[in-house]
C-alpha cells in the first residue's frame, strides 16, 4: 500500500524537504498516510458518484439563503463547543468529513486513516504558518468560520494579535468565546467581504489570510481587493479552490472544474491578481496547486501576494 512521505509533502508544497519545519516532520511521523489508489470498478464508481452529484446538486454559492445556512452551521459549532466544556475538537469544520475518498495528484485515493484529509491539511497549515506568518505582528483571517485556524495560529504564535472576521454573527460569537475561554490575543468582528466596511482599518505590520472563504463570494471579490489595496497589508495569503489551475484535458480535473462551475464558486481571482501585477500594483510571490482535495474538487491551492506600497 502506498504512503505519503516527506518528499510527497515537499512536492505538494513546492519546497525542498529540508525546508519543512520540525512541526511538519513530527506530524508526518505521527499520522497514518497509507492509501489505496482507486482503479477499475472502484474508480468508475467514484466517477459515477461525481457525475450524479453534478446532476442533482442544488446548492448555489452566494445565494441569499446561504447566509442563514452559515449562521446556523457556526451556531451549531458554538453550542457544541460550550456544551463540551470548551473542547477545541468541536471547532473542526463539519465540511472536513472523515472516511471519504480523496483527490490526490489527479487520481482518486482511499485513505486507510479516516482523518487523512484533516491530517494532510494540518501539515499544510503548519508549513504555511511557519513560512509566511512569523514576521507579522497583526494577523487577520477573513471568513474565519469556527476560528479553527486562529486557534492553531495562537498555539504557534501566542504573542501575536489575531483577528477573526466573518459575515455572520455566530462565527464572531464563537471566536470571542474561544478567546475568553483560553485567554487568547484574539478578537472577532463582523466583516462582509462583498461589501467591506471601509472603517475597519488594518493595523500596521499586518498579514491577511483566507482559507476557503473567497470561494464563497461567487466571484464578487473586487470590492475586497480594493479594500486590501487601500489598506496595504504586508502580505496576503489565500488557500482557495482555483479553477484556473485545473488541466481540463484531464478527466478528473475536468469533473472538478465542472463541479466548481455548477456550485458557483469564485472564478477569476488569480487572473485578476496577475492583471494587477502587470499594472505594477501587487507582487505575486507564490502560486501553487497542491494537487490535493476532496472527491469533488481541490480546495487547498495556495496564492501569496503583497500590495506594492
- pLDDT above 90 (res 150): yes
pLDDT (average), residues 238-244: 98
- Give me the chain's average pLDDT, please: 96
Residue 40 phi, psi dihedral angles, 5° rounding: 60, -130
Contact 185, 159 (CB under 8 A): yes
Q: pLDDT tens digits, residue range 292-301?
A: 999 999 999 9
Q: For the segment 269-304, what is each residue's pLDDT rounded down to a tens digit?
A: 999 999 999 999 999 999 999 999 999 999 999 999
Smallest Cα–Cα separation from 125: which of 143, 147, 152? Answer: 152
Query: For residue 192, what is its C-alpha cell?
Result: 462582509
Q: What is the mean pLDDT of residues 80-89?
A: 95
Q: CB of 172 within 8 A of CB of 194?
A: no
For the segment 27-75, what is each residue's pLDDT rounded down to a tens digit?
999 999 999 999 999 999 999 999 999 999 999 898 878 888 899 999 9
Angstrom distance (rounded) from CA 132 to CA 167: 25
Predicted local confidence at residue 94, as pLDDT:
78
Mean per-residue pLDDT, 200-213: 97
- pLDDT tens readout for residues 101-125: 999 999 999 999 999 999 999 999 9
**Best CA proximity match to 91, nearest among 146, 142, 144, 145:** 146
Burial of 270 (0-12, 13-18, 19+ CB in 10 A): buried
Residue 96: its pLDDT value, please? 86
177: its cell numbers = 468565546
CA atoms of 271 and 91, how far apart (whole Å): 33
Confidence band for 224, pLDDT divided at 50, 70 and 90: very high
Cell representation of residue 1: 500500500
**Where do the structural domains in the chain lie, given as residue ranges?**
6-60+92-143+191-307
User: What pLDDT does 194 receive?
Assistant: 96
Amino acid at each position: 500500500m502506498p504512503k505519503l512521505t516527506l518528499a510527497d509533502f515537499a512536492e505538494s508544497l513546492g519546497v525542498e524537504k529540508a525546508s519543512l519545519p520540525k512541526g511538519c516532520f513530527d506530524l508526518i511521523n505521527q499520522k497514518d498516510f497509507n492509501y489505496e489508489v482507486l482503479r477499475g470498478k472502484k474508480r468508475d464508481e467514484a466517477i459515477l458518484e461525481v457525475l450524479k452529484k453534478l446532476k442533482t446538486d442544488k446548492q448555489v454559492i452566494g445565494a441569499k439563503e446561504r447566509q442563514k445556512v452559515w449562521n446556523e452551521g457556526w451556531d451549531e459549532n458554538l453550542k457544541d463547543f460550550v456544551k463540551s466544556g470548551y473542547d477545541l475538537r468541536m471547532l473542526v469544520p463539519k465540511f472536513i468529513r472523515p472516511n471519504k475518498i480523496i483527490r490526490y495528484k489527479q487520481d482518486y485515493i482511499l485513505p486507510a486513516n479516516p482523518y487523512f484529509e484533516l491530517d494532510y491539511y494540518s501539515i499544510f497549515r503548519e508549513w504555511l504558518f511557519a513560512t509566511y506568518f512569523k514576521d507579522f505582528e497583526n494577523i487577520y483571517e477573513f471568513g474565519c468560520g469556527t476560528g479553527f485556524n486562529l486557534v492553531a495560529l495562537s498555539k504557534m504564535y501566542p504573542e501575536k494579535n489575531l483577528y477573526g472576521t466573518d459575515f455572520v454573527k455566530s462565527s464572531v460569537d464563537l471566536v470571542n468565546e474561544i478567546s475568553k475561554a483560553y485567554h487568547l490575543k484574539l478578537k472577532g468582528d463582523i466583516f462582509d467581504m462583498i461589501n467591506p466596511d471601509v472603517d475597519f482599518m488594518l493595523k500596521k505590520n499586518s498579514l491577511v489570510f483566507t482559507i476557503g472563504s473567497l470561494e464563497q463570494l461567487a466571484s464578487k471579490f473586487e470590492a475586497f481587493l480594493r479594500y486590501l489595496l487601500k489598506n496595504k497589508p504586508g502580505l496576503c495569503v489565500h488557500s482557495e479552490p482555483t479553477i484556473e489551475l485545473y488541466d481540463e484535458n484531464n478527466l478528473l480535473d475536468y469533473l472538478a472544474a465542472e463541479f466548481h462551475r455548477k456550485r458557483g464558486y469564485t472564478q477569476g481571482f488569480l487572473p485578476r491578481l496577475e492583471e494587477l501585477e502587470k499594472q505594477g500594483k501587487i507582487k505575486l510571490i507564490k502560486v501553487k496547486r497542491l494537487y490535493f482535495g476532496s472527491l469533488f474538487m481541490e480546495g487547498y491551492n495556495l496564492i501569496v501576494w503583497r500590495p506594492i506600497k
